[in-house]
Amino acid sequence: TARVEDDRTGLSIETLKRAFLDNLFYIQGKFPRLATQHDYYMALAYTVRDRLLQRWISTAATYTEQSSRTVAYLSAEFLMGPQLGNNLINLGIYDRVQQAIEELGLNLDTLLDQEEEPGLGNGGLGRLAACYLDSMATLEIPSLGYGIRYEFGIFKQGLQNGWQVEFTDKWLRLGNPWEIPRPDWAVQVKLGGYTEAYLDANGHYRVRWIPRQVVKGVPYDTPILGYQINTCNTLRLWSAQAPESFDFEAFNSGDYLGAVQEKISSENLSKVLYPNDNVSQGKQLRLAQQIFFVSCSLQDMIRILLRQKLPLSEFSQKFTVQLNDTHPAIAVAELMRLLVDEHGIAWDQAWDITRNSFAYTNHTLMPEALERWPVEMFGQMLPRHLEIVYEINHHFLDEVRAKFPDDGDRIRRMSLIDESGERFVRMANLACVGSYAINGVAALHTELLQKDVLHDFYQLYPEKFNNKTNGVTPRRFMVLSNPRLTHLLNDTIGDSWVQHLDHLQKLETSVEDASFRQRWWEIKQANKHDLATYIQAHNGITVDPESLFDIQVKRIHEYKRQHLMVLHIITLYNRLKANPNLDITPRTFLFGGKAAPGYMMAKLIIKLITSVADVVNNDPAVGDRLKVVFLKNFNVKLAQHIYPAADLSEQVSMAGKEASGTGNMKFAMNGALTIGTLDGANIEIREEVGPENFFLFGLTAAEVKALKASSYNPWNYYQSNPELKEVIDRLKAGDFSGGNPDLFRPLIDSLLSWDNYLLFADYQSYIEAQEKVSQAYRDRDRWVRMSILNTARMGKFSSDRSIAEYAADIWQTPSVKIELTD
Ligand code: 26Y
């Protein structure tokens, strides 16, 4: 008798169709005549989730049986992007599902487009965490991602009259089929109140913390499947709730409204993601979010350890805890508290365990991003943690004094407490002291950490420092987002590159093959055509797919210098106005990115871009030669349409400011050429692709430092460079603001009087490099060769390589094979 495939695990087209219709009926409660496209999306998502669950359970069972050493990746942000398409790719059933869906008279792209992406991150740091989860699963490394289940993720960006407006991101409104709540594993987190000392039954001095408030953390799990492997790890996000017992008391005492208030204030903890990228505001609720998810996660790890019958002394053998920047760095004090206060372990032993458990990744050189909490606020919310921080500091400063006697300045700089004015707890210092490894995210960044930002810690603990250059997952950013290119690559060199990105090297011989080059060109054109269609639909602007697509997408920040690209656009515009018949390379300039809602200068940069777009796009003298487009609400979903369609990737930060960048990698993998400074990972990308295949400009980090030390004056550049002067003068005159000279004044004034990020110093070099870009693009054959070589040489920038290095050098986590049991 023919065996009927299981409805929940079978992968044949017939079974997939049956399971899909079943889920539509029994989960969505709809039948085809009433179902919306979103209902169909949900039915498909549940069909896929069932197949993940089978692998997930085998994985959990294996890890438990083997007590596998596990990475706990602690991050306040996970910018996952849509899940359905990625899971289809990793399950290896994309084509089959596409066929099944078509046979049912539906369209897979339409269904994929229904998914509301979980925007639980700001930008690079959060997206890196998501790429790393994919790579850890693919490399079969046991891992748990721990974070916050924000009810509202990063705001949705709208444009009104060219200005950014923010809308709440209600991503959970229609339900989230990918998560499974685990209320039985809920834990409690204490806040506020006071501490008191007591003697325990053995006469030992102990401290107990009497909190003012207790919040319940409920975990929601999302399965993270590796690429064509059975490993299915977990992303565990904590949602804050009021504990029943707590508001009950208030209720019984008659304070009903107070009880409800308490509930609201508890649930606030996981309400909304702070939308700041690279600036810390020191807000109390933000500190509460940090202790909330960190305490939940550490308690969860201890539960797992004890369930496996392992003693607490083996915490650091069972887990290695990666701190994604300082956002979870309070974990150092919290683990000490759990071990010493709650589990009765002696301080010295607890400190050994703690120091062997944590590793810290730094992501930024921006001074304003360094987190510091006013001691007053910290002590109000976390009275016991403040005592513990003081105690750690006491021991630590003794250690510093032993190695560097009579060096008061060093003590003041390294202390966990900043006492130069109002007192602050320094989270980077806490992370450095409490971790066995400290890493930067690109070679230059790690070097600058050692030289500047963390120099004192480097002198004390040189052996802790190491570099881990970032990477991105080729599954999402090539296979899923660029199917045309993927087919060509598979046809040409087979598909092993998806797991071994360095195999793309095999493409190098095809550079000489004219028909391959032709296919390469046609694929880029087709991708550009798709993006042009999107732009037409969303912006109402007609762009020419034959023009050079010149793109900058990332958070809006002065150090990233979106406005340098604007200076170039106005320069070209001025040239065309002066010489209408000028033969220039037609370009489409594309921008995308969100500004932090409180960052006025970033918002003004968006208004500048949209204002320049209005003038340039509507000037008949320009015709179709220049088009400027601001794509609103740049997120992972949109990013996946953009990278494959780029000719030129703009990576133009002031050297020494962008820790790594990861968009730079996504562009280059998809065959875009880069115009960039010697900053972050740009340096390593240029090394890999070859200087002849990269458009370099601008000062080096060392030159930036020297110029700033020698009292830089932007005014001199303005006076001595006629094209630059004309650009600024036109802005000043109001040529791009309907004659209003005030609109962009804050921006112009800042450039003319400080120019903190040296746009004027780099202007001429940038313009000249752009000239070379325009020339290169005119020679199609040469351009295509460069484009192919960029893709062929990007092997290093797979997040698989990064994660393999973390595993070997920091984590010491062997991979664990998962067999499917049914
Ligand atoms: C303090 C808090 C408000 C804060 C929140 C978010 C501080 C920083 C951030 C985000 C930082 C971030 O995204 N950094 C980026 O990390 C990427 C991954 O390592 C790098 O590629 C990128 O250069 C860096 O800016």
- Give the tens place of pLDDT for each residue, 556-610: 999 999 999 999 999 999 999 999 999 999 999 999 999 999 999 999 999 999 9
Choice between 1 and 489, residue whose per-residue pLDDT is larger: 489
pLDDT band, residue 217 (cuts 50/70/90): very high
Average pLDDT over residues 670-695: 98
Index of the ligand 1 atom closest to the CA of residue 281: 3
pLDDT in the model for residue 250: 63
Index of the ligand 1 atom closest to the CA of residue 371: 1
- Give the tens place of pLDDT for each residue, 137-188: 999 999 999 999 999 999 999 999 999 999 999 999 999 999 999 999 999 9
**What span, in angstroms and rounded, lies between the C-alpha atoms of 596 and 591?**
16
In this model, does residue 246 exceed pLDDT 60?
A: no
pLDDT band, residue 376 (cuts 50/70/90): very high
Assigned token pair, 643 = 């990278």
Burial of 315 (0-12, 13-18, 19+ CB in 10 A): buried
pLDDT in the model for residue 2: 62
Length of the chain: 822
Beta bridge partners of 220: 181, 237
**What span, in angstroms and rounded, lies between the C-alpha atoms of 474 and 481?**
9
- Report the run of H or E that residue 514 belongs to, with start and end: helix 514-539
Average pLDDT over residues 691-703: 98
In this model, does residue 4 exceed pLDDT 90?
A: no
List, chain by chain if needed, residues with CB within 6 Å of any ligand 1 atom.
122-125, 128, 274, 276-280, 363-364, 369, 371, 441, 470, 658-662, 680
> pTM for the complete prediction?
0.97
Delimit the domains of the chain by residue range. Answer: 67-82+117-470+805-811, 474-797
- Give the tens place of pLDDT for each residue, 461-480: 999 999 999 999 999 999 99
- Superfamily of domain 474-797 in CATH is Glycogen Phosphorylase B; (3.40.50.2000)
Least confident window among 263-267, 514-518, 551-555, 766-770: 263-267
**What span, in angstroms and rounded, lies between the C-alpha atoms of 241 and 188?**
10
∠ CA(470), CA(471), CA(477), 5° rounding?
A: 145
Tell me the DSSP string of 3-42: PPPPTTT--SHHHHHHHHHHHHHHTS---TTT--HHHHHH
- Please provide the average confidence, as pLDDT, over all residues in the chain: 97
Measured in Å, residue 804 CA sits from the centre of ligand 1 at: 22
In this model, does residue 1 exceed pLDDT 70?
A: no
Average pLDDT over residues 614-641: 98
Contact (CB, 8 A) for 77 and 120: yes
- Give the tens place of pLDDT for each residue, 184-199: 999 999 999 999 999 9
pLDDT in the model for residue 656: 98
Q: What is the dihedral of CA 710, 716, 718, 723, to 10 degrees?
A: -110
Nearest CA owner, ligand 1 atom 21: 661
DSSP 3-state assignment of 795? helix
Nearest CA owner, ligand 1 atom 1: 280
pLDDT in the model for residue 645: 99
Assigned token pair, 48 = 């896929």
Assigned token pair, 160 = 């009104």
- Give the tens place of pLDDT for each residue, 431-447: 999 999 999 999 999 99
Quote the ipTM score: 0.98
**What span, in angstroms and rounded, lies between the C-alpha atoms of 688 and 676?**
14
Within this chain, domains 67-82+117-470+805-811 and 474-797 share the same CATH topology: yes
- Report the run of H or E that residue 733 belongs to, with start and end: helix 722-733
- Tell me whether strands 70-74 and 319-324 are parallel, antiparallel or unpaired: parallel
DSSP 3-state assignment of 555? coil
Catalytic (active-site) positions: 363, 554-555, 560, 662, 666
pLDDT in the model for residue 357: 99
pLDDT in the model for residue 249: 62
Q: How many CA atoms lie within 13 A of 137 on its CB side?
A: 31
- Give 310's contacts (C-beta < 8 A, 6+ positions apart): 67, 318
Assigned token pair, 372 = 């510091």
In this model, does residue 113 exceed pLDDT 60?
A: yes
**pLDDT cut 90: percent of the chain above it:** 94
pLDDT in the model for residue 255: 79
pLDDT in the model for residue 3: 75
DSSP state letter for 673: E
Exposure pattern of 511-537 as b/e (b: 16+ CB <10 Å)? beeeebbebbbebbeebbeebbeebee
Average pLDDT over residues 607-617: 98
What CATH topology corresponds to 67-82+117-470+805-811? Rossmann fold (3.40.50)
